[in-house]
Amino acid sequence: MVIDKPNGSDAAKETLAGRAKGGLLFMGGFVILLYGIEFLNTFLAHRLNADFGLRPRNVAGILDIATFPLLHANFNHLLSNTLPLTIFGFLAFLSGFRVFITALAFSWLGSGLTVWLIGEGGVTVGASGLVFGLFAFLLVRGFFNRSWWQILLSVVLFLAYGSILFGVLPTVMGYVSWQAHLGGAVGGIIAAVLLRPKGHSYRRA
């Protein structure tokens, strides 16, 4: 009995399809979690924001770096983050779970640390730092990877969403945390640098 083995092209297609399915499931589940938290937060008159939102330079609340992206000021705030977060997260997931989780983690940590270090008072909540981090990661990774299709994707994303990069600039609008945006973007770029292909160097004997 002869069993046909899939060739390299078929295996690559199966891998990409599996990653696409995983990306949809993961991002779908994450978005559902965000909406579930917001429903609960609304029911509690947004008391969760006061307890788990991020306050700059508050030593006792530094662990809130882990929770503040999961909270939002209201449903309009969450809605504004939903589509770009889903798109950017899905596209990052196509490169594999390790790549995605690294980009997400550095975006999360970069956003939180920047707010904690140079934020301007009040409580910061929202997933926009993750949006900026994943976006920045997708924009630059192709140049580090020397991948033409990733560079092409970055051009398309820049044309479609490039205007959001103004969100990393200091703003007079007190309700917008440019620090979260900037820190998330820096975290995404760091992730792209760390995930770049490593070259091999050899010494001659």
In tens, the pLDDT along 174-191 reads 578 899 999 999 999 999
pLDDT tens track for 126-143:
999 999 999 999 999 989
Paired tokens of 138: 């997708």
Q: Which of 95, 107, 154, 181 is catalytic?
A: 181
Specify whether 181 is catalytic.
yes
Q: Which two tokens stand for residue 117?
A: 């270090």
CB 24 within 8 A of CB 90: yes
pLDDT band at 114 (very low <50, low <70, confident <90, very high): very high
Select the more confidently predicted residue: 12 or 71. 71
Give the chain's mean pLDDT.
89
Taking only the tens place, the pLDDT of each residue in 27-48 is 999 999 999 999 999 999 999 9
The amino acid present at 35, given as its one-letter code, is Y
Instruction: Clarify whether 128 is annotated catalytic.
Output: yes
Kindly list the domain boundaries of the chain, sorted by start residue: 15-194
Say what the pTM is. Answer: 0.88
Q: How far apart are CA 103 and CA 16, in angstroms?
A: 19
* Position 97 pLDDT exceeds 80: yes
Catalytic residue among 107, 128, 154, 177: 128
The single-letter code of the amino acid at 185 is A
Q: Are 101 and 118 in contact (CB under 8 A)?
A: no
Residue 192 has pLDDT above 80, yes or no: yes
Q: Residue range 84-111: average pLDDT?
A: 96
In this prediction, residue 160 carries a pLDDT of 86
Sequence-ordered alpha helix ranges (H) in the chain: 8-43, 47-52, 75-93, 97-118, 128-145, 148-161, 178-194
So what's the pLDDT on residue 167? 82
